[in-house]
Structure 1
């Protein structure tokens, strides 16, 4: 019908829809920050025995929480420490050194370490720079299925033994940071890399979100994008209305208000969307 064509040609609805999309995107960004503030980041330190994992945990925690010795296999169980780095709450986990062993207790520690690795938001693979090992080969040997740049950082430890300079860079697509946990060299760069990797930049009005909130926001964005496509590409007013109703329902899971009629009434009150 001619009235429907006029409605679809009108730029007001498109402008309003795009404003809503921008607003939802901004809220979702804030919600991600809020989730980090509420739940924190699960960071697991892993690697071979004597790579300096426990020293790194102690340095980041600011106290001697883990026992440090030159004896391989000292850490036989997982050790959790709650800390805050640049305002970001973190549960830091030290794990047993990964290696082949016949010791029953150490085997159990390694099993628990692998379980923690699987659940980590971020995995720090610590390796001894003085041993001349390829960190990605180590990662391939111990947890090949977790070789993802978004989950794995390579930490070259003991640079004080090699004369290498503490630095931050990339190694075959993975974040690579050279440090000395014992001398606390390069650790501040590591801290900044962890918070940057998490995308942690909270504002004063950050939305403290739960996981279900983020899921609802994601579905809201999907339905708004769907509505935009129906409007611009297919010129289907009825389908625009249905996508907006679904978006409103997704938001209602957060607010507890499923007022789809109010939303559609406001947006389409002055338009004919056809029959």
Structure 2
């Protein structure tokens, strides 16, 4: 749930641990009295002041840079005080405690200098920026995405979202939708105008253009979600097909133990790599087999492998090229493939990889589909083609990272809701006897779904979930 946002808050705004510089941040209304008591002087707005910060005995805790950002021209929209000190955890805790004690001290009227000052909850500074209309919700989420970015492309995309690139696209869709709603609502208010009025105003053309622009934004948003959340790729196959070797080759490190003994991999091993700036979460799993020698530990590993496969965005089904003509091996591969078809959603791609090409003396006759690749996890042959095919299978278009903005799964879902409502609106408009009341309702629901992206129509529960994922001090 959202925290009470009218009380002043304080937190250490830099990462835990030792560092060159650490920051203690205070946000609230009317910080002047606290600043005067804490620093012994007033501070010029937005001007750094180098000074000793004394404790209650007058001895300096540290020499700090003090900055005062009066509201509403601050990050949170409230008065903000930042104290930049040496980045030792003890020093920062001493400054934090000093601020709390000064805030609780009484003035001449017997009133605390800054009553109610408390430690900030995770994300509460950015939450206040949102509540005070300094950022919309998509921009606020981009703050966390920028901090969490694991690739250069992700950082650039988050920066563009923070600057408002994604929000601007949503606002343009919303403005067009509002204009169309005005026409429909006016027709409902003046039924004598009826359909002729909508035809003259090109309501159908406006709706078509809106759907076209929505499709473009949806495609961009899907790319942004891939950039932020990455792709979960599960390597599956029989024992000794080379799954762990493939994970090691993709990661460029010896992460998984590789031996010729069947059942070596007993548990899930995961590593995140990047391809063209897209995070790729590669999961190695236990070999899939049914054999009397399978013990209880390996059986649990196989069960976990199937669990991972069920959560995959893409599956790499690894085959051993050297055993391709072994009838028992081929039958087991076929059984795994049939089980995959039953466990995976239709939209989850399965890429068939024929490994150990380096050990195959003659070229084997393999299927020619794009979903079948030959490679060698040992030598690295075929890995570049595998990387590019993976991006293609999950819909990464690439080439436009400079213009890419960051997005989240909830944004993609909200835009799908808009698309569904607009399709129903189009059906209502094109009916032999247009149902204008249904058309108006679908357009209203479309606008609500758009507003949920930027936070203009969002439940407090959703806000609580979003901001609780931030770090404390941000």
How does the TM-score come out when normalised to structure 2? 0.50
* Superposition deviation, residue 47 in structure 1: 0.7
Is the counterpart of residue 185 in structure 1 residue 396 in structure 2?
no
Partner SS state of residue 154, structure 1: strand
Partner SS state of residue 379, structure 2: coil
Distance in structure 2 (CA, Å) of the matches to 1:166 and 1:82: 33
Look up the match of 2:214.
24
Q: Provide closer, same or farther for how the CA distance between residues 75 and 142 of structure 1 changes in structure 2, counting only shifts above 3 A.
A: farther
Look up the match of 1:126.
318
Query: Rg bigger for which structure?
Result: 2
Q: Which has the higher contact order (CA 8 A, sep 6+)?
A: 1
Is the counterpart of residue 201 in structure 1 residue 400 in structure 2?
no
Note if contact 1:80-1:91 (Cα within 8 Å) is conserved in structure 2.
Answer: yes
Alignment of 1:31-180 (within 5 A): 31-100=221-290, 101-132=293-324, 133=330, 137-140=334-337, 142-146=339-343, 148=346, 150-162=348-360, 163-164=362-363, 169-170=368-369, 175-180=371-376
Look up the match of 2:49.
none
* Superposition deviation, residue 229 in structure 1: 1.8
How does the TM-score come out when normalised to structure 1? 0.84
Note if contact 1:42-1:122 (Cα within 8 Å) is conserved in structure 2.
Answer: yes
Distance in structure 1 (CA, Å) of the matches to 2:332 and 2:383: 19
Distance in structure 2 (CA, Å) of the matches to 1:37 and 1:149: 19
Partner SS state of residue 44, structure 1: strand
Look up the match of 2:92.
none
Partner SS state of residue 72, structure 1: coil
Distance in structure 1 (CA, Å) of the matches to 2:419 and 2:357: 46
Distance in structure 2 (CA, Å) of the matches to 1:11 and 1:84: 49
Note if contact 2:237-2:333 (Cα within 8 Å) is conserved in structure 1.
Answer: no
Note if contact 1:41-1:89 (Cα within 8 Å) is conserved in structure 2.
Answer: yes
Is the counterpart of residue 223 in structure 1 residue 426 in structure 2?
no
Q: Which moved more, 1:133-142 or 1:185-194?
A: 133-142
Look up the match of 1:249.
448
Partner SS state of residue 240, structure 1: helix
* Superposition deviation, residue 239 in structure 1: 2.5
* Superposition deviation, residue 28 in structure 1: 1.0
Unaligned runs of 5+ in 2: 1-190, 325-329, 458-474
Look up the match of 2:203.
13
Partner SS state of residue 319, structure 2: strand
